[in-house]
Chain A
Amino acid sequence: MITAEVILAASEGANPLIPNWWEILVTAVAFAVLLFVVKKFVAPTFEKSYTDRVEAIEGGIEKAEEAQAEANALLEQYKAQLMDARTEANGIREAARSEGANILADLKAKAAEESARITAQAQVQIEAERVAAVNSLRNEVGTLATSLASKIVGEALDNDARSNRVVDRFLADLENQANAGVTK
């Protein structure tokens, strides 16, 4: 144990700027040892793990970027495909619509033609039948009217000339009527 007297005695001459040579020696050697160990073992390990980590992180980022790019490409592809399909569907729909319209128009035209044809045929037939009817009617009506008139008038129709005149006039009237009916 150091006594107070010793300390006090020592303190009188103490100058904090005057070094103890032991301190210099020990510090220098200790620091040299520390530096050696750090340089030889500590720093390389740290640098290595630092590099490894940078590589791992950068590799990870690269991989992620690759995956991202791949996903983007796929997305683009899908989008393009979708667009194609949509265009195609539109085309098909458009074609179907125009085809349908064509068919409809065709059918309409055909129907109109058919109806026109049927109408024309009917008219021709009706005309023929009318003409036939008029002809037969004229004969029959002439006969009928003459016989009827004979029956009504009886013997009064002996005078042929008179009788012919009456029939002719009747038929002319009938003719006029029939003509009026045709032109009507």
Chain B
Amino acid sequence: MTAFALPMASNDGGFVPPTISDTHLPDIFPWMADYGTGFGKQMVMIILSVILIVWFFKAAIRNPKLVPGRVQFFAEGFYAFARNTVGRDIMGEKNFRPWVPLLFSVFLFVLLNNLFGAIPFLQLPSFSHAGSAYAIALIIYFTWISVGVKKYGIRYFKLAVVPTGVPGWILPLLVPLEIISNFIVRPLTHSLRLMATMLAGHMIVALAGSGAAYLITEQDSILLNATGVAVIAGSVAMYGLELLIMVLQAFVFTLLTAIYIQGSLEADAH
């Protein structure tokens, strides 16, 4: 909304595209630091997501039935997805059980926060903000490292970075590569993949919205106004694509979480 107000507010008549900063919506406590650094809408949405998830699932399982009702069935669908499709299929029958709550939480947390980008008036995927993506990726980063250390002790780091079955002379080359890929690149890609797709989607929708608004309200030519309507129609398709990406990224993020933890649990197997 503020993003759409931006081009309309620019009085020189030129189109000003939305910028990264437009994804930072108004600070709630204005006395906190500068714009985009305080406690803003994005953080309210994060808290809202937790409240919504907890509320929904508490309601869905308040009175669990053997033959589930519609709401319980819907809720169980999410749980079964995190439990069976992600947990059991990736981590195996032996290991997956203790990790189901984590996978379930990660999946719903990311999914709902992504979908906030598709809900009018909220219209901001929480994970388009790097801080949130870093935070959740870091939690998982420390989780899988501690899983490995707990299971194998300090030997875990050797298992994680020294590949077995390769000739010794190549190890000086491989070990630094493994260190970089496992302990530096992995958490970065884990977080940035989510953050970048959400940010890009959000920027596309914002750009289409502000562009359409500019074409329709700031231009006198009827032809350009009509183009603005076409942009809105096109943005609906982009919105559909965004929706798909939001769900897909939540799935990918959860899947990678499972794969990383599985990798730590079975560090001696490869």
Contact = CB atoms under 8 A, between A and B. Distances in A.
B127 to A, nearest CB: 9
Contacts of B199: 16
Interface in A135-156: none
B100 A24 contact: no
B66 A49 contact: yes
Interface string A20-47: 1111111110111111011101110111
A170 B90 CA distance: 142
A56 interface: yes
Interface in A1-34: 2-4, 6-8, 10-11, 14-28, 30-34
A160 B2 CA distance: 188
Q: How large is the interface on A (under 10, 10 to 19, 20 to 34, 35 or more residues)?
A: 35 or more
A7 B6 contact: yes
A23 B129 contact: yes
Dominant secondary structure of chain B at its interface with chain A: helix
B61 interface: yes
A89 B102 CA distance: 74
B135 A4 contact: no
A161 to B, nearest CB: 145
Given A4-B10, A31-B105, A26 B66 contact: no
B105 to A, nearest CB: 5
Given A2-B2, A24-B132, A42-B58, A10 B47 contact: no
A23 B22 CA distance: 16
A172 B105 CA distance: 149
A169 interface: no
Given A24-B134, A27-B136, A48-B64, A42 B101 contact: yes
Contacts of B65: 49
B105 A24 contact: no
B26 A2 contact: yes
Contacts of A16: 20, 23, 128, 130, 195, 199
Contact of A21 (B42, B102, B131): B131
Interface of B: 2, 6, 9-10, 16, 19-24, 26, 32, 34-40, 42-43, 46-47, 49-50, 53-54, 57-58, 61, 64-66, 68, 72, 75-76, 79, 83, 100-102, 104-106, 108-109, 126, 128-132, 134-136, 138-139, 192, 195, 199
26 contacts: A2-B35, A4-B9, A10-B35, A10-B36, A11-B19, A11-B21, A14-B19, A16-B130, A21-B37, A21-B131, A22-B32, A22-B131, A23-B42, A23-B130, A24-B138, A27-B46, A27-B126, A30-B47, A31-B105, A34-B54, A34-B109, A35-B105, A39-B105, A42-B79, A49-B76, A52-B66
Q: Which 7 residue pairs are nearest across A and B when measured between Cβ atoms?
A: A23-B131, A19-B131, A27-B135, A11-B21, A11-B19, A27-B132, A39-B101
Interface of A: 2-4, 6-8, 10-11, 14-28, 30-35, 37-39, 41-43, 45-50, 52-53, 56
Given A16-B130, A41-B58, 6 more contacts: A23-B42, A28-B136, A28-B138, A31-B136, A34-B53, A43-B101
